[in-house]
Structure 1
Amino acid sequence: MTRNTVEKAPVTLLGLGAMGTALARAWLVAGHPLTVWNRTPARAAALAAEGATVADSAAAAVAANTLLVVCLLDDASVGEALARTDLTGRDLVNLTTGTPAQARARAAWARERGARYLDGGIMAVPPMIGVPQAGGYVLYSGSRELFERHRQTLGVPAGTTYVGQDAGFAALHDIALLSAMYGMFAGAAHAFALIRKEDIDPTSLAPLLADWLVAMAPGVHRTAERLRSGDYTEGVVSRLAMQAAGAPTFLSTAAQQGVSPELLSPYFALMRRRLAEGGGDEDLTGLIDLLVR
């Protein structure tokens, strides 16, 4: 074992699915002593050959190191895996996807068992882990002191972004960002559906579509500024009244192309509601208020 390896902070990792395995390999490559555990032991075999210590139980894995990272299927899996472990004095970093409420409850659960807690939301897919230029990162929330203590180690698999003391904020940011992603994918799906029956190569539309989405992306900053100020009309270029007036053209085109409008109709319905409430001089920011119950 090299001097460099000895000086690296040891890590325990529970969960060796696709993401967990990618995290494990990133820490191993960087020289961190790593103890792993997985409910299905066979998944740990390859990592053992690469230098990981394989614990025969979750309790043994937890006991091995202070820094404990969990990347399991869901919140219930976290509770099951850690149920018979001693978390006293452990720094628990939970990278399992869950809701803000689950994160807050798990933070309280960890404190009751003598552990410090950080919640994380991974904004990456496994091939991006351990590849800095890929742009992946992990959102963290909870104890700021704990985040700073382990920041260097946590930054090995992917970049780190701290989003607040509230343990639920990482999950909330995670779902907010992914929700926007799915909305973008929905719009792209509708765009491709419109040309599906035509003599148009989808690969010729793709660069136009990608560039257009990039050009529109800065609009989120203007939306954020209007939400903060409460003024939805200042500097508006495309008024809601104008955009709502154009909606029938989108729906007619979809009908003519034999495409279901189900991805667009809910958004147009919100536009009509806001317009009926007198928001014709606004941009689309006011639609957000219609969504908040």
Structure 2
Amino acid sequence: MGGTDVTVIGLGDMGRALASALVAAGHRTTVWNRSADKADELVAQGAVRAASVEEALSASPLTLVCLIDYEVTRTLLGPVAEALRGRTLVQLSNGTPEQARSLEAWATGQGAGYLDGGIMAVPGTIATPEAFVLYSGAEKHFTAHRPVFEAFGTAKYLGSDTGLASLYDLALLSGMDYLFAGFFHAVAVATSHKDVTAAGFTEFLVPWLTNMAHQLPALAADVDSDGEPAYTQGLDVLLAAARNMAQAARDAGVRAEYFDRAAADLERQLAEGGEAFTASGAVRALRVPGVSGDRA
């Protein structure tokens, strides 16, 4: 078996979407999944089904892995690692920056090129303008295979540090998770009133959040700058609001731990002599003392 352009290992919802996009874009595609029937629809579209992981790796110069995590990837590829030699492996599973760097070290030890990726899309938006995929690692591998990557949406190269794609991926997902957590909390509070529906309330929430999202670039500039912040707010004002949001939640029968913690943190800052909220101060407050991450 051989002669295809790209292999996709892992045919969950996302893996199938990736493979389908590759076939539709004209890339000769080999697919493999532990449950072989997951490949049936893709084979009908024109993909080639591999009988084993080793066969899948050997079929193409480029293999994309879309599994549950990095541990599963290592477990699956380890016994047939020799088949990676001279090929490029792209990990599109979810993981941490350190896991990405570790897998790169392992892959290069097998004689393979390596890129780490983060898919910023849901399966239904793959191959649309809304989708973008982040890549990090040796730029030569990204450049060589960019036409394949562009079948999924916009391909964004972040840099040679292999951990960057995972860092961006998890940070972006963190922002999304807080957004949805805020949505569910707000809906729980609002719909505690008998005359309020989730749909009706959301008609107000979406434009409000959209307007607030437009403020993020200015806040980001404040974080990056050592100069005078563009936005400040009195800590006492924020404390009053946090206390009120916590009490309103409790009155509505909704858990209020987040706002209780926010109020306690604001009280601490005021007790330490703080007066004003700034974006850079908020980011500093989140950092764990003595842990620098990858910052210089």
Contact 1:240 1:284 in 2 (8 A): no
Give the TM-score of the pair, scaled to structure 2. Answer: 0.90
1:250-288 Cα distance to aligned partner (Å, 9 max, x none) = 122222222210233333333333333333223244122
Which residue is equivalent to 2:116? 119
Which residue is equivalent to 1:219? 215
1:188 is aligned to 2:191: no
Contact 2:7 2:59 in 1 (8 A): yes
Quote how far apart the aligned CAs of 1:56 are. Answer: 0.8
Letter paired with 1:98? G
Contact 1:187 1:263 in 2 (8 A): no
Secondary structure, aligned partner of 1:145: helix
Task: State the Cα RMSD in Å.
Answer: 1.8
CA distance in 1, matches of 2:94, 2:178: 19
1:40-119 matched pairs, under 5 angstroms: 40-83=35-78, 84-85=80-81, 86-119=83-116
Letter paired with 1:194? V
Letter paired with 2:237? M
Determine which of 187, 206, 219 is the counterpart of 2:202: 206
User: Unaligned stretches of 5+ in structure 2?
Assistant: 289-296
Quote how far apart the aligned CAs of 1:237 are. Answer: 4.4
Quote how far apart the aligned CAs of 1:67 are. Answer: 1.1
Letter paired with 1:276? A
Letter paired with 1:76? E
Letter paired with 2:107? A
Which residue is equivalent to 2:156? 161
Contact 1:119 1:168 in 2 (8 A): yes
Between 115-124 and 258-267, the greater mean CA deviation after superposition: 258-267
Aligned residues: 283
Letter paired with 1:22? A
Give the TM-score of the pair, scaled to structure 1. Answer: 0.91
1:224-263 Cα distance to aligned partner (Å, 9 max, x none) = 22222235x5333433332123322212222222221023
Determine which of 197, 217, 234 is the counterpart of 1:239: 234
Determine which of 252, 255, 265 is the counterpart of 1:260: 255
1:19 is aligned to 2:17: no
Q: State the identity as a percent.
A: 40
Between 264-273 and 241-250, the greater mean CA deviation after superposition: 264-273
Which residue is equivalent to 2:291? none
User: Aligned pair in 2 of structure 1 residues 204, 173: CA closer, same or farther (>3 Å)?
Assistant: same
CA distance in 2, matches of 1:178, 1:121: 10
